[in-house]
Amino acid sequence: MKKPQHDIRVAVYPGSFDPVTNGHLDIIHRAAKVFDKLIVAVLNNTSKNPLFSLEERMNLISIVTKDLPNVEVDGFRDLLINYMKSKNVHLIVRGLRAVSDFEYELQMASTNQKLDENVETFFMTSTPKYSYLSSSIVKEIAQFHGPVTDLVTVEVEEALKLKYLKR
């Protein structure tokens, strides 16, 4: 039986995903089981100088999540709260790797709640094998042509190789 539209649980998993790692994918797969629809919202952060363009990051995420029919990939260039309002979504998913992540994420969740009291943040702890993994680590290894096979998908690994061949 199909749920009425107002009963569908939609969540947003925001991030820069530069690039998407196996740790991100772990959270995406697990959150896609919990929520009826998961929007992976790729931030175009103007204060950062990303390796991949917004469109490239969105494309990579679309490729590596193609087996998840309830996952949608979108981009945004605004405050997360403004994006949430534009989508009429009130649930945020954030991944936690370590205690240091929790401190930052708690601050962000509190700020988001202050900006919109209807928004709730759900924290998902990282699977232990990905607790150390970050996009920054992946880029640093890839920049020096180190092995990233266990850290990202084949598609992302190829995209990294192409980026660093051009530099």
Cα–Cα distance measured from residue 32 to residue 120, given in angstroms and rounded to the nearest whole number: 17
Going across the sheet that includes 10-15, the strands are 71-76, 37-43, 10-15, 91-96, 120-125
104 marked as binding residue: no
94 marked as binding residue: yes
Q: And the tokens for 67? A: 């087996």
146 marked as binding residue: no
95 marked as binding residue: yes
Spatial contact of 61 and 17, defined as CB atoms under 8 Å apart: yes
Catalytic residue among 57, 126, 135, 139: 135
23 marked as binding residue: no
96 marked as binding residue: yes
Catalytic residue among 37, 85, 97, 163: 97
Active site residue 86: no
Active site residue 135: yes
Active site residue 97: yes
Q: In the chain, what's the furthest Cα-to-Cα distance? A: 53
16 marked as binding residue: yes
Catalytic residue among 24, 57, 126, 139: 24
Is residue 146 helix, strand or coil?
coil
133 marked as binding residue: yes
Is residue 19 reached through a cis peptide bond, with omega within 30 degrees of 0 on the bond before it? Answer: yes
Which positions ≥6 away from 106 have C-beta within 8 Å? none
Catalytic residue among 9, 48, 114, 145: 48
48 marked as binding residue: yes
Catalytic residues: 24, 48, 97, 135
Binding site, by residue number, is 16-17, 24, 48, 80, 94-97, 105, 130-136
Binding site for substrate, by residue number, is 16, 48, 80, 94
